Every structure is written in structure tokens, then in C-alpha cells.
Structure 1
Amino acid sequence: MEVPLRIVFHYKVDQEIVFYERIFQILFSIDILLNFRTGFFEERTLVMNHHQVARKYFKSWFFVDFLSAFPFDVFGGFFYEYFGVTDTLRILRILRAVKVFELFKSLRLLAMGGNEEFQYRVLEVINPVTFRLVFFIYWTSLFAHWVACGWIKLTPEFLKDSDIITRYIRSLYWSVTTLTTIGYGDITPRTNTQTIYTMFVMIIGVGIYGYVVGNIASLLSNVDISRIKFQEKLDTINSFLRYKKIPADLSNRIRSYYINLWENRHGIDERDIWEELPSAMKIEVSLFLHAKLISVVPFFRDATEELKREIVQQLKPIAFMRGDLIFREGDVPHNMYFIAKGSVDIIKESSGTVLDSLHEGNFFGEMALIDDRLRSASVRARTFCETYVLSRESFREILSHHPQFAKKIRQIAMSRKKQSKQTGIETPAR
């Protein structure tokens, strides 16, 4: 950014700037050498052959890198004598700004070659929305700076009695107001050249303005797309409730159910994700999510890994609102439940007694899997509950694949029947 200022203001550079300039030239030169030794990905395969790497580099960024790093100021006399040009050739370093494209590309390629965690972190940061935003800020700021420097070059009399900082700030102000199509008119072109330059900047500014509006609208619409989808779903539910004339108390419970789903799951529907996952990955995710849940069940505790893998695949998510009756005393049993979040009360309806309260990590209704007795107690959601359900039919199908485990279950069933005859209640194990 300093090079255009040096050209339009013709100020002398102090030794400190020259020192930093030499450092950057050395770094750019080292970068050129490293690029000849840096492989590239082709169809996700890393190519390290020196001839192929050099050929690709010559065809891509070598020319830009060379012009950016070459010390034209050192050889200024030579270029002036033979080519009639001065050290303004250093403006070619502006080409280095184009390398920002290669930076983002390189980071993405680096992510492709790294481990899964590194890939996720890099691609999460350099996602398309982030890239577009950074790209826009970078180029608009740089272009506004270049336009301001161009205005100073074409208008040497502009605030000529003021200091360099004031002239630059006022020129940058003209650049921004023109590019954004605001144009207050307090700084206007005087000559034909200035007028043509201003028209050119205006045309570019219209494109930038359209790009800004389109991108801001896109960014805002993607800030929280899941919330927008949830609101659309809630509007559909409200229309359904009004159309069907559902009573107010029931309508409120339905709305509360979906609002609780949003607050606890942020609009994520597990079933949609589940259907898209390949079977092998689905099993791994299921084991991670549910292995602890099924390990607390006594008759699953000593199950083989293969059996657990089959069980977790059959678990289905289901949520209950506070106060929902999950099942009632005397119901025909069909499922057992694992509590992933929330708590429930075990109730003896005949007396209204709360026998027990179960919390996250507990289970209930397990006897539904091993015998056909009716429910001996009711279960009510004490808070909003996220549970996973294992049906008796799925469990029995699993048992058919594991005869030894099926024998053990029959023994447990006989033992639990003897126990229930003594207490008269299905004891909810923890």
C-alpha cells in the first residue's frame, strides 16, 4: 500500500522503510525458491516431482512473484538508461496483492492433506461466507486506496498547500464517496482527464455497490438459517392449528413442544442426518451416542460388542413435554426407554404415589422387552425429556441372531416374574 503513495507524493524514503522493503524482498525471493520445492494436489494426490512442480509454478504464479520481488530500485539507473523508465517499476509489487487468492487456496489444499480434525477446523474458518466477506473487505479497501492515489496523481493542485496526510485523507474521502455512489459534490473534477477518471470510478462503484448489497443480503440471510427454517415451520404449525380448530390448551402444548425442540436441538432433525449417513459411520455414531446408555441396563452390561452395535442401530429418538404421560399403568408394553436429557416420575396411579424419579442416564420399561405383562406403574415426564426408544419387536429380532444372549434374557425374565409376584410392582432398575 505504501508504494502508490511514494509514487504520487514523491517523498524520500527513510532508511527504516528501505530496511523493511529489503526484508520483504528477501522473503518474497525465499517464497519463490520454496514454491519450486512445494508439491501440489492433483485429484487428491500429492505431487512432489520437481519437474512437474516447476512446470506448474512457471505456468501459474512465477511471473507475478518475480515482478513482486525484483529490486527495481537497485537497478533503477540501468532501466532508465536502456528502457527509459525509472524506479516507478516498483509499482509492479502491487501484483503481490493478487496472491491473496493463492493464500486461501493453499490453506484449503493444506487442509485436504491434514488429519480430519485439522481439515474441519480450516474448512470451518475458511468457509465460502467467511471467504467472501474477507475478500470483499480486502479488495474494496485496497481499491479505494488505489483510486485515492490516482486522484492525487491526476490532480497535483489538489490541496497542494496542505500536508501529505490531509491530502491523502481528503482524496480517500473522495474515493469512498464516489465508489459508494454517494458523491456529495464537494470535490469535483476540473479537467477532462479528471472527468474521465471520475466516470470510470463511478462505473466501478456501481458494480461494487451492487456486489455489496447482494452480499450483505446473502450474509444476513445465512446468519442463522436454522432459526429461519424453524420460524417457517412454526408458521405452518400455527396455520394447521387454526385450520383444524384445535383447542387453545392443546395448541399451546403443541407450540411448546416445538419450541422446546428448538431450544434443546436448535432445529436439528436427527432422522434427516441419520438417513444420509453411510451405514458404517451410522454405527460408529450410534455407539458413541448410546453406548453409555445401554451399558447401564443390567442385562446389556455383559453383552458382546457385536450385540451392542445391533442394539444402538435400533434406538429411535423421541421427546416428551413436561407433564406428558409416557405410558399408563395397565398399558400393553411395547418399548423400553433410555433418558438422554431430563427426568421422569414413576407413579402408582391407584394411590397417586411417586415411587421413584429417574434422570439422565437412567432407563425404564425394560420388562417390555422380556415378557408380556401389562405396565405395573405409570411414567410421567417431570421436565422436557429427550429419550431413545427400543421396541420389543426390534429387540426380539436381535435376540434371534444371538441365541446365547436370548437364553440369558429368558433366565432374567423368570427371575423378574418371581420378584414381581412378591412386590406387585415392576421395579424400575437404574
Structure 2
Amino acid sequence: MSILKNMIHPNSPYKRIWDLFVFLCITYFAIEVPIRLVFPHKLTVGVTHFERFIQIIFGIDLVLNFFTSILKDRLVIQNKKIVAKTYLKSWFLIDFLSAFPFDLFGGFFFEYFGVTDSLKILRLLRSVRVFELFKSLRMLALGADSEDRFKLIEVINPMTFRLIFFVYWTSLFAHWVACGWIYLTPEFLADKDIYTRYIRSLYWSVTTLTTIGYGDITPTTNPQTIYTMGVMILGVGIYGYVIGNISTLLSNLDISRVTFQEKLNTINSFIKYKKLPPQLANRIRSYYINLWENKHGIDETEIWNQLPSGIKIDVSMFLHNHLISVVPFFKNAPEELKREVVLELKPAYYMKGDVIFREGDVPHNMYFLSKGQVEVIKEKTGELLATLNSGSFFGEMSLIDDSLRTATIRAGSYCDVYTLSKDAFSEILRHHPSFAKHINVIALERKQHQSSFKESDES
């Protein structure tokens, strides 16, 4: 247990915040170190203290990595020896070189190696870790129950993440290439200020990497020429990668719309093959178009069938509990029965003008109106008895007696409906005998009320 208390969970919210902070520190050095190498300048006391603070952060991060659990095959490994061995074989050397204060030992390194500030370029090695940190920051850790201390949710879409990561690395690489050009060409715009020299070098870097190359800035020495050829080769690769990713991003940006269009083409082929009349064909197309506009091409049934029963029940209660709770004989129903009821609800969709059921039909389902509007009509006279809106229910008496439909229900707009079949409800009552007695009492009272109504009507 002591090991568990001492080790840091890799998905801890605090670890995520720390990773973000380290990521920003790495980005600072990745930008600042090359600039200092090509534009040497004396640091102010404030900047020196700030960089010393960042080095301390890197040192703390190096130590924390020995006490941070690792994830392998979705298993959290908290054994200190395994964690340390894994870290020593992976990122330790890079982290150590980037955190070591070479500038404090400048005299020693100059005496034995003839270098001093150039060793600061070792800090760029830590930029390689940006990929790991950036990937971890794509996920967000949230507190969970005691059995699963931390759960991850994805906060950035994978395609969006790839695009952001690509823009970040491309910008950083263009910056490094620009600094490399200045380093190889000290005479480049030597009479200009450092801001102009950097911007013009960055311009050359971008035009070369994007394979545009206007030719207004060209290499004149062999090192410059070799450097330019290397950047061109990398630029071709980057250009191909950009085009490939953008085309993939655009094709997957709204994949549901593409799927819907394919389905609509199939429907049109079906209509043409079966030679359906124009009015019926338009109703079919209208149905699918309205289904797209309201459901965005989501096949609810397919998703529903793939969910495990435990999640399915919880989702059903969240989505439909308010619908069934307004039904009088469900208000005081036990929670277990409600959970079984919502699990049996089936989605159905109706277009404006569709008849959901007619007066005199044999009842098989009751209906919960999730979205839309329906009209209650007296079939013989055409009289509009009532209008029901979202959140309403109708046809509930079909669950408790065998009487025929007493009115016609017609969709007044596109309707998103959930149905509960009589057979499913009977099976649920079989599991809840006490509630079944309550339903029988309601059914008996309804029959007595109907018979008394008929007698008074006859007299």
C-alpha cells in the first residue's frame, strides 16, 4: 500500500496540469535557444532567473518521472523498480541533458572541451518529448468512483489533434530552419536589425519548405547550398504530408453527411427500379431528409444494439425517464420497473401528415412523443379534439385493456416517437406482480366507467 501512496497516477489531473506546464517550458526553450545561438546577446537578470527557474522545473520533472506509474496494455504499473528501469531506458538521458546547468560549469567545459554556450543546444533534445506530452494533453482526466480512480475523456478530436500537432511542429521546424540559415549566412542582411534579418530568414524557410521558392534569396556558398538542398527534400515530405492530412481531414470532417448521401443515392435507385409514383417517392425522400436534419444520420438502433445492457439501461433512464414519469400509472411505479420499461422503448419516426394509428384500430403500442406535434382527430367527423406537443404520451390504455382505438392520431410535424409494445409491458408486469395488481384495478375502473358511459348514452 505504501508503494501505491507514493506513486503518481499518470492520468491524475494534477499530473496533466504539470505536463502542460512542462510543455510550455519546453516550447520556450525550443524557440529561445536557436535565436540566442545566432543572435548572441547578454541576458538580463530577470531572464537569467526565469531560465534558472525553468531548469529547476525540468529537474523536478526528472525526479517525478521516477515516481509516476506507467501504463502498459491498459494496466497501471506502480512497481518502482520497473518504472525506474523503463524510464532509464527511454527518456532519462534526454531529460538529464536538458536539465543539467551547463552554464554554471562554463569554465570547466571551455577548458576541457572548448565549448560553453553551445551546450545549451542540448536543451532542444527535450523538444522530442513534446510529442508524448502533446498526446497526453489531448486527453483529460476526470475523477471517478473508488474502483476506477481516474477516467479519461478525449477533449480533442483525433483529426483536429493531428492538425494542431502538425501546425505546432511545422512552425517550430520552420523557426529552426530560419535560425540555421542565419547561422550559415552571417553576412545575410548584416546591415539590418535582428528583427528584419529573422523575418526575412523565416520567409526563406517557409517558401523553401513549402516548395514555392521564389528565388529572391538564394545560397551562395557550398554549405548554404547543401543546407538548402536538405531543407528542400524535407519540404517535399512536409508538403506531401500536409496535402495528405488535409484531404483526409476534409473527407472525414462530416463523414455522416457522406454516408447519408450514399444512402440517398441508394434510395433513388430503389425508387427508379420499383417505378414508384412521384408522390410516394417524394414521401420516401422527405422521410430520409427529415431524418438527416433531425438525427444527423445517426442510426440510433444500431448504436443501441451494440451497447452493453448496463450502459444501455443508464442511458435509457437519462433519456426517457422524464417521458414515462408523466404517465399516471407510472408515477408511483418502482424504480426497477421503470428501468425495464425504458429499456423496451423503441424509436419510431413520422412525417407531417402521417397517420400513427386510426380510430378503431387494434392497439399494440403506447407512444411517447419526444419531439414534434401530433393531432388527436375524431375519424367520423374530422373534428380536431386536441394537439399534443413534445413530452406528451398517447395510446397508454392499450397496455391495460383490449379496447379498440377511440381516436385517430396524425403527425402535425416531423415526430420523434418512442413506442412501448403491449407484449413487452405484459412481460414486465409478470416480473412485478404487485404493480400488475395495481394495473388490473385501473383497467377494471376504466371498463366500469366505459360501461356506465354507454348506459347513460343509451338512455
Same fold (TM over 0.5): yes
RMSD: 2.3
1:74 aligned counterpart, secondary structure: helix
Report what 2:216 is aligned to: 186
Select 1:70's aligned residue among 91, 100, 120. 100
Q: For the residues of structure 2 that align with 1:336 and 1:373, how far apart are their CA atoms?
A: 13
Partner of 1:415: 445
Query: Where does residue 133 of structure 1 map in the other structure?
Result: 163
Whether 1:349 aligns to 2:345 is: no
1:269 positional shift: 1.4
Gaps of 5+ in 2: 1-30, 455-459
The answer as to whether partners of 1:41 and 1:109 remain within 8 angstroms in 2 is: no
State how 1:19-418 maps to structure 2 within 5 Å. Answer: 19-107=49-137, 111=141, 119=151, 121=153, 123-125=154-156, 127-418=157-448
Comparing 382-391 and 34-43, the one that deviates more:
34-43
The question of whether the paired residues in 1 share the 8 Å contact of 2:143 and 2:150 is answered with no
Residue 111 of structure 1 aligns to a residue whose secondary structure is strand
Question: Which secondary structure state, in structure 2, belongs to the residue aligned with residue 340 of structure 1?
Answer: strand
State the Cα distance separating 1:117 from its structure 2 match: 11
Aligned length: 422
Q: Which runs of 5+ in 1 are unaligned?
A: 425-430
Are the equivalent residues in 1 in contact too, given 2:143–2:149 (CA < 8 A)? no
Q: Distance in 1 between matches of 2:39 and 2:344?
A: 75
Name the TM-score, length of structure 2 as normaliser.
Answer: 0.85
Deviation at 1:67, TM superposition (A): 1.1
- Aligned counterparts of 1:407 and 1:171: Cα–Cα separation in 2: 85
Counterparts of 1:195 and 1:402 in 2: how far apart (Å)?
Answer: 85
Q: Which moved more, 1:332-341 or 1:241-250?
A: 241-250
Q: 1:268-322 CA deviation, whole Å, 9 max, x = no partner? A: 1110111101112212222222222222222333333332232222211101111
1:334 CA displacement: 1.5
Per-residue CA shift, 1:207-226, capped at 9, x if unaligned?
00011001111111222222
Distance 1:112 1:67 in 2: 33
Residues 344 and 424, structure 2, Cα contact 8 Å, conserved in 1: yes
Q: Structure 2 counterpart of 1:124, which letter?
A: V
| CA-to-aligned-CA distance 1:174-232 (integer Å, 9 cap, x gap) | 11111111111111111222111111111111100011001111111222222222222
What is the CA-CA distance between 1:172 and the residue it aligns to? 1.0
Distance 1:402 1:243, change over 3 A: same
Residue 50 to residue 334, structure 1, CA distance change in 2 (3 Å) = closer
Note closer, same or farther for the CA distance 1:53–1:400 as it changes in structure 2 (3 Å cut): closer
2:446 counterpart letter in structure 1 = R
Residue 201 to residue 113, structure 1, CA distance change in 2 (3 Å): farther
State the percentage of identical aligned residues.
Answer: 66
Alpha-carbon offset, residue 422 of structure 1: 4.8
For residues 267 and 172 of structure 2, what CA distance do their matches in structure 1 show? 49
CA distance in structure 1 between the aligned counterparts of 2:176 and 2:134, rounded to whole angstroms? 23
Q: Contact 1:44 / 1:112 at 8 angstroms: preserved in 2?
A: no
Q: What TM-score, normalized to structure 1? A: 0.91
Does the Cα contact within 8 Å between 1:181 and 1:202 map onto a contact in 2? yes
